[in-house]
Amino acid sequence: MKSILLIVPYFGKWPLWFDAFLLSVAANPTINWLCPTDCEIPKSQPANITFLSTTISQLNQHINNVVEAEVPLNPRKFCDLKPAYAEIFAKQVVGYDFWGFCDMDIVWGDVRKFITEDILSEHDIISSRKENISGHFNLFRNTPQLNSLYKRLPNYRVLYGVPEFKWTDEVILSNFIKTDPAFKALGIKVYWSKILCNQENGRDSHQEYYLDKWLWKDGKMLQLKNGEPIDEVMYLHFINWKRTMKYSVVKYEDSPNQFYISFNGMHYKPHMAFEIILNRYKNLYNGYYVRESQRKGKTRIKKFFKKN
């Protein structure tokens, strides 16, 4: 079985769903995680996650030396640095067949069910998105060629040298792989033929404000409809729900075998039928996509008046 290390730096304060994240990590014992952090290390943790105690300032000079650029490091800027993680954390990736990056706003399902040995044997880069590099899950074969691939990106030092997030991990790297003759000449095999996580609109992981749509059960991430499983995904990426989640009753020490994930929290018991129906009506006039449409409309109006 090919070994995998997923790297997920996290600085500040652990999110309220952190215990659920740890539970889903523990349910994937053949995959390892590395988490550089300045947060308090949990007293109880899965055996397959390693916490590296550090600070952003401590890492900054090391990163500058590795990537040969002056990086104005901040939590968001780590996303641009993701393709360089194998060189930044070179000691930690030694011995692994694959290394990769991921996010913390995730609950993992059965990763090995989707990332099979055949896929690992036949490909060098593996993404959970279709025809795009995924910032929330991407694997690279642990070779000098792939570990230094980020240095082939046009003007990568300039991109790393500004404090703003430049989408190096997804947009720029994807475009390089798709269009640059220099990449094609390397003969690197990329797997991005399927969507492996939740993608409601086929493009990203944003989703409506649902109740009880997702159930983590015995290490599997299940999509529900009327309380029954209709699909299984490798992981749930609740990127826009992290702003609306207010609570989580899930505790790692309790070792539950299942819990529900809703837009407003993580819980053991499903909502009552009338609550779900009421929430559906709310989404009709104040749901995520309604709010997004209003936000985009306001942005267009502001741009119009700014030009005129």
For the residues 59-80, what does the mean pLDDT come to? 94
Can you give the pLDDT at residue 292?
83
Can you give the pLDDT at residue 22?
99
205: CB partners within 8 A, 6+ apart: 136, 197, 198, 199, 237, 238, 239, 240
Mean pLDDT (the chain) is 94
The arrangement of strands across the sheet holding 214-217 comes to: 228-233, 220-225, 214-217, 258-262, 265-267, 247-248
Q: Are residues 240 and 119 in the same domain?
A: no
For the residues 109-127, what does the mean pLDDT come to? 98
| CATH code: domain of residue 144 | 3.90.550
- Inform me whether the pLDDT recorded for 145 exceeds 90: yes
Tokens, residue 60: 């900054």
| Structure confidence by residue, pLDDT tens digits, 245-265 | 999 999 999 999 999 999 999
Q: Are residues 223 and 187 in the same domain?
A: no
CB 250, CB 141: distance < 8 Å: no
**32-37 and 49-53: which strand pairing?**
parallel
- Domain ranges, residue 115: 4-191
Q: Are residues 134 and 232 in the same domain?
A: no
- Flag the least confident range among 6-10, 83-87, 207-211: 207-211
Determine the Cα–Cα distance for residues 54 and 240; give it in Å rounded to an integer. Answer: 28
Positive or negative: CA dihedral 117, 124, 49, 26 = negative
Tokens, residue 205: 């992981």
| Structure confidence by residue, pLDDT tens digits, 203-223 | 678 889 999 999 999 999 999
Torsion of CA 276, 197, 175, 97, to 10 degrees: 160
Q: Considering its fold, how many domains does the chain have in total?
A: 2
Q: Are residues 25 and 120 in the same domain?
A: yes
Domain annotation covers residue 27 = yes
Domain annotation covers residue 201 = no
Determine the Cα–Cα distance for residues 288 and 295; give it in Å rounded to an integer. Answer: 10
Can you give the pLDDT at residue 218?
98
Model confidence at 308, pLDDT cuts 50, 70, 90, reads: low
Q: Are residues 20 and 80 in the same domain?
A: yes
| Structure confidence by residue, pLDDT tens digits, 293-304 | 888 887 887 776
**% the chain with pLDDT above 70:** 98
- Inform me whether the pLDDT recorded for 200 exceeds 70: no
Determine the Cα–Cα distance for residues 269 and 246; give it in Å rounded to an integer. Answer: 16
Q: Are residues 38 and 170 in the same domain?
A: yes
For the residues 144-151, what does the mean pLDDT come to? 96
Torsion of CA 73, 77, 82, 85, to 10 degrees: 10
Domain annotation covers residue 196 = no
